[in-house]
Amino acid sequence: MKRKVLVLEDEENIRSFVVLNLKRSGFDVIEAASGEEALEQYEKNPDVMVAVLDVMLPGIDGYEVCRRLRASGYGAGVIMLTARAQESDKVTGLMTGADDYVTKPFSVVELVARVEALFRRVGGAAFKEDDAIRSGPFKLNKRAREVTKNNLRLDLTQIEYGILKVFLENQGKALSRDDILEAVWGHHYVGELKIVDVNIRRLRIKIEDNPANPSYIKTVRGYGYMWEG
Ligand code: CA
């Protein structure tokens, strides 16, 4: 798989330094010197997995580029390069859909490490839309057998993945423990229904904002569970 990274930076010396280091780390790098150019490059390279976006640019700024990328369906990683370490900048960046930010002046070693880390989190999933099921902040990629929440990969077992898949394919529908057991473990499974509850308890810890008061996997008393997207 190609490890494609888009680098948007108007200052040529910084850009070429970043590009050089990313290439040395084995990334396939696409360059852009303006926000407009970055958006054009994304059109031509929809398989970009991580975008490194400088905020301060002539023309549209990095936040706007991030917003437009997300609006056009870009589901992979975004790292903002911000000149200021102000809290408001971080908030703006995260609000527009960035996953991470690096403050200038930065060490290129650190930036490459952040790109690597984000690539691993979004990696595997090539974000082909027809292979994905979405619900709120969740996206399930069938081909890669993985689920992301707010673009961050969830660390799931295959069973947990299987349960989540059944839920996402049956959003808003009450599923009995038997339904879940059969769909995930298969109808040859000999064992207790309790295994469903145990796995759902674990799954809630991994996916819910507040596992004690779950808002995605609802309990249907005396019956089973339901996914509320
Ligand atoms: Ca700049």
Please say whether the beta carbons of 53 and 38 come within 8 A: yes
Euclidean distance between CA atoms 56 and 10, whole angstroms: 8
For each of the domains in the chain, give its residue range(s) and CATH number, in order of start: 4-124 (3.40.50.2300), 132-227 (1.10.10.10)
pLDDT at res. 91:
66
Distance 218 CA to ligand 1 centre (A): 47
pLDDT given at position 141: 87
52 Cα–ligand 1 center, Å: 12
Residue 89 banded pLDDT, cuts 50, 70, 90: low
Tell whether the model's pLDDT for residue 130 goes beyond 60.
no
Mean pLDDT value of segment 59-65: 93
Sign, CA torsion 198/200/205/209: negative
3-state secondary structure 133-168: EEECCEEEECCCCEEEECCEECCCCHHHHHHHHHHH
Neighbours of 150 (CB within 10 A): 11
CA of 224 to the centre of ligand 1 (A): 54
Tokens of 197: 């509850």
Instruction: Give the pLDDT mean for 25-41.
Output: 96
pLDDT (0 to 100) of residue 124? 47
- DSSP E strands, the chain: 4-8, 28-32, 50-54, 77-82, 100-103, 132-135, 138-141, 146-149, 152-153, 174-176, 217-220, 224-227
**Distance from the CA of 13 to the center of ligand 1, in angstroms?**
11
For the chain, the average pLDDT equals: 87
Distance of CA 9 from the midpoint of ligand 1 (Å): 6
**pTM greater than the 0.75 cutoff:** no
Which of 137, 22, 1 shows the shortest CA–CA distance to 79?
22
> How many A from CA of 74 to the centre of ligand 1?
22
Helices (runs of H) and strands (runs of E) counted in the chain: 8, 12
d(CA 199, CA 163): 8
| C-alpha 122 to ligand 1 mean position (Å) | 26
pLDDT of residue 142: 81
Predicted confidence (pLDDT) per residue in 136-185, tens digit: 999 998 877 889 999 899 988 888 899 999 999 999 999 999 999 888 88
